[in-house]
Amino acid sequence: MELVTPAIGLVFWMLVTFSLLLFILKKFAWKPILSSMKEREETIEKSLQEAANARAEMQKLNQQNESLLAEARAEREAILKDARDIKEKMIGDAKAIADDEAKKLISRANDEINRQKNAALDELKKEVANFSLQIAEKLVGKALESSDAQKALIADQLGRLDNQQKASA
């Protein structure tokens, strides 16, 4: 039983040793241990605060990136819309210019056709007049006195013929 119940001297020296150890720890080690624990606690708290700040900053940057992307998309769409509008305007202008040129060409062609038609009709009238003179000379057997008188007579006859055709039409 001696092992279970210690002697009074042993207890006394254990108390003295423990008190001395406690005093030495309190005097020399307790403050540095507590200050280092406090520093560690402050460091951990500061790190947690910095992590929270970094997380908030990251969210803010993500929001800014999203807004920048949205702006870029909107700007891209505006640029594409402007390009489409310009393309359609250019195509419309080119069509209008081509239509104007085509109308001018058609008008010039019609004018040229009418001019050539009138020239052909005039030439045809002259030929008919000459043939008429030749036929008249052969029929009458002699030439009329002057060629001016012949031409005046033929022009008069052709005018009457044109008037008759217009009246019947």
Residue 169 pLDDT more than 70?
Answer: no
pLDDT score at 110: 93
Q: Which residues contact 14 (CB under 8 A, 6 or more apart)?
A: 6
The full set of domain ranges for the chain reads 8-168
Taking the C-alpha atoms of 9, 11, 15 and 17 in order, what is their torsion angle to the nearest 10 degrees?
A: 70
Query: What is the average per-residue pLDDT within 20-35?
Result: 88
Residue 15 has pLDDT above 80, yes or no: yes
Mean pLDDT of 148-166: 75
Residue-wise pLDDT tens digits, 36-91? 999 999 999 999 999 999 999 999 999 999 999 999 999 999 999 999 999 999 99
Q: Residues of 125-137 as b/e, b for ≥16 C-beta within 10 angstroms?
A: eeeebeeebeebe
Contact 154, 129 (CB under 8 A): yes
In whole angstroms, what is the distance from residue 147 CA to residue 161 CA? 21
Q: What is the pLDDT of residue 32?
A: 85
Structure tokens at 72: 């870029």
Q: What is the pTM of this model?
A: 0.41
Does the pLDDT of residue 21 top 80, yes or no?
yes
Sorted by sequence, the CB contacts under 8 Å of residue 25 that are 6+ apart come out as none
Q: For residues 133 and 154, is the Cβ–Cβ distance under 8 A? A: yes
What's the confidence (pLDDT) of residue 11?
86
pLDDT at 1: 52
Q: Which of these, 143, 124, 146, lies nearest to 134 by C-alpha position?
A: 143
Q: What is the CA radius of gyration of the chain?
A: 62
Tens digit of each residue's pLDDT (9 = 90 or more) over 93-145: 999 999 999 999 999 999 999 999 988 888 888 888 877 777 776 665 445 55
| φ, ψ dihedrals at 142, nearest 5° | -145, 160
